[in-house]
């Protein structure tokens, strides 16, 4: 749901000449003492959903050892005119070839504002731009035929498609007398064009089931999930919203909007009845709250704890903030990490933030405008490739201070893992670190450093990182 919208001031990353390699044995013992390590107690390998191996010559997504990456395939107020589904469809082959494994679409059904709506004010869950309703046939994004063509194309590219599901509230109903409020309310959805999931005042709070649930949003009628009729239409019956989206429209998963508005049991029950990947938008920086919700919903959750810590780290000169607790550290299988989305875009120094989420555990998300408009696509593609092919195993934080952060992915199932070095300072930095590799040549897979050092027998090696940038090291193979 759209809450706030921030303009992004872009950071232009300069390209620096690499320093010359120096004798790694100089002051070895001193530098070893400088590098201190802390291991994060997380699982031993990634758990994100992935299709089949990394970009291939056919253009189809193929999952590498590190899995895949989610693309948020929209932003707030994408162009009107019904062409967005076609716009996204035309980008899928390039996205899949770059290592994008799934695309998250905006709410696809007809909403109150018809062709002008971003979909977060849903009226008819079964009108995908094929009924003349709310002032238009098509939605803002296009027709049902175009949406189905997008989903078919994504599946041909071995990509999954996630639907944005708005089930906290509805909008666009007609006025009716409501005995529970003693007034008229906009809760009459009996005449919706699809004829599916007609609703009336008893399907919204307050009603015979109570006065309210966990939360309402924006004055919209608040859907009552305690009502068995509502449950049946959302996930129970064969043509329920969830099963129709999955079995007829062929969506593979769900991004649940504003899950603060209803209990986690709703998502849990949907997932049990419908299946598919799911992630909840629980806008809360408290990692305990995120973990509680994810466990009770049996769902992934957006890692807002990491999001706000990254803002502190990369915009406010305190990389020590990355030592703090985050959802991906609690359970990477249920953490979806992100740098920006359609609702909130507060991180200005974005490339180091993307280097962070694309080298660490969790399921990383790329924001459409960052990828297609605002940032260096070649650098993002490089990070996506590194994620899919090198970002394996659990995470050990090797060094942090205000300006420097070094972490190691410890590898898994024969994959060597990596070492990421993020440098917020205005000059080149060097550190001795302990790797996973004994007497092996390594290189920086970003190309930011031209060093090709060889690790010592005890696995220590000196690496470097350019100013206001990052380097990512792994075996030269």
Q: Are 231 and 237 in contact (CB under 8 A)?
A: no
pLDDT over 70 at 17, yes or no? no
Q: What is the pLDDT of residues 429-448, one digit of tens each?
A: 999 999 999 999 999 999 99
Q: Which residues pair with 39 in a beta bridge?
A: 396
Distance from CA of residue 200 to its chain's centroid? 35
Calculate helix-pair angle for 350-357, 304-315, nearest 10 degrees. 140
pLDDT over 50 at 136, yes or no? yes
**Beta strands 469-475 and 122-124: pairing type?**
unpaired
325 marked as binding residue: no
DSSP string covering 119-141, please?
SSSEEETT-SS-S-BTTBSSBTT
Closest CA to 352 of 389, 404, 413, 302: 404
232 marked as binding residue: yes
pTM: 0.90
pLDDT over 50 at 178, yes or no? yes
Mean pLDDT of the chain, nearest integer: 90
pLDDT over 70 at 221, yes or no? yes
pLDDT band at 90 (very low <50, low <70, confident <90, very high): very high
**Cα gap 42→328, rounded to integer Å:** 8
Average pLDDT (214-240) is 97
pLDDT the model gives residue 134: 98
**Cα gap 112→372, rounded to integer Å:** 29
**Cα gap 172→111, rounded to integer Å:** 7
Domain boundaries of the chain, sorted by first residue:
49-391
pLDDT the model gives residue 1: 57
Specify the fold of 49-391: TIM Barrel (3.20.20)
pLDDT band at 412 (very low <50, low <70, confident <90, very high): very high
pLDDT over 90 at 43, yes or no? no
Q: Give me the percent of the chain exceeding a pLDDT of 90.
A: 87
Q: Are 429 and 368 in contact (CB under 8 A)?
A: no
Gyration radius from the chain CA atoms:
24
Average pLDDT (331-349) is 98
Q: Which residues are catalytic?
A: 257, 281
Q: Which residues pair with 256 in a beta bridge?
A: 165, 280
Q: Give me the percent of the chain exceeding a pLDDT of 70.
A: 88
């Amino acid at each position: 749901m759209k809450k706030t919208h921030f303009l992004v001031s872009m950071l232009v990353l300069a390209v620096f000449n690499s320093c010359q390699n120096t004798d790694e044995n100089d002051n070895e013992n001193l530098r070893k003492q400088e590098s201190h390590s802390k291991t994060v107690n997380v699982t031993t390998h990634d758990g994100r959903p992935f299709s089949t191996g990394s970009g291939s010559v056919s253009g189809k997504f193929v999952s590498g050892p590190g899995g895949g990456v989610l693309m948020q395939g929209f932003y707030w107020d994408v162009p009107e005119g019904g062409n967005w589904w076609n716009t996204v469809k035309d980008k899928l082959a390039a996205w899949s070839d770059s290592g994008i494994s799934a695309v998250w679409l905006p709410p696809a059904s007809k909403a109150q504002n018809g062709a002008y709506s971003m979909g977060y004010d849903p009226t008819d869950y079964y009108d995908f731009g094929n009924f003349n309703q709310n002032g238009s046939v098509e939605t803002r994004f296009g027709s049902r035929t175009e949406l189905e063509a997008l989903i078919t194309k994504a599946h041909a590219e071995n990509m999954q498609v996630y639907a944005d599901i708005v089930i906290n509230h509805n909008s666009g109903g007609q006025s009716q007398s409501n005995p529970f409020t003693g007034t008229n309310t906009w809760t009459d959805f009996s005449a919706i064009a699809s004829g599916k999931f007609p609703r009336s005042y008893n399907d919204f709070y307050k009603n015979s089931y109570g006065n309210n649930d966990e939360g309402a949003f924006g004055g919209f009628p608040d859907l009552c999930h305690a009502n068995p009729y509502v449950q049946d239409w959302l996930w129970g019956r064969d043509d329920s919203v969830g099963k129709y989206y999955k079995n007829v429209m062929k969506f593979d998963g769900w991004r649940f909007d504003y899950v603060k508005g209803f209990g986690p049991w709703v998502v849990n029950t949907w997932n049990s009845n419908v299946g598919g990947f799911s992630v909840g938008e629980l806008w809360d920086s408290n990692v305990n709250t995120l973990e509680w919700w994810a466990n009770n919903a049996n769902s992934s959750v957006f890692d807002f704890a990491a999001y706000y810590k990254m803002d502190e780290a990369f915009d406010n000169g305190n990389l020590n903030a990355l030592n703090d607790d985050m959802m991906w550290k609690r359970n990477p299988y249920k953490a979806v990490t992100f740098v920006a989305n359609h609702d909130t875009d507060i991180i200005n120094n974005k490339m180091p933030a993307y280097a962070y989420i694309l080298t660490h555990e969790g399921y990383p998300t790329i924001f459409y405008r960052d990828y297609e408009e605002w940032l260096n696509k070649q650098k993002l593609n490089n990070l996506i490739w590194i994620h899919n092919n090198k970002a394996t195993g659990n995470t050990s934080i090797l060094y942090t201070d205000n300006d420097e952060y070094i972490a190691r992915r410890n590898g898994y199932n024969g994959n060597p893992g990596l070492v990421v070095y993020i440098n917020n300072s205005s000059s080149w930095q060097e550190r001795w670190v302990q790797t996973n590799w004994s007497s092996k040549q390594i290189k920086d897979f970003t190309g930011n450093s031209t060093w090709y050092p060889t690790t010592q027998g005890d696995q220590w090696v000196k690496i470097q990182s350019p100013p206001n940038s990052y380097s990512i090291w792994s075996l030269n193979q």
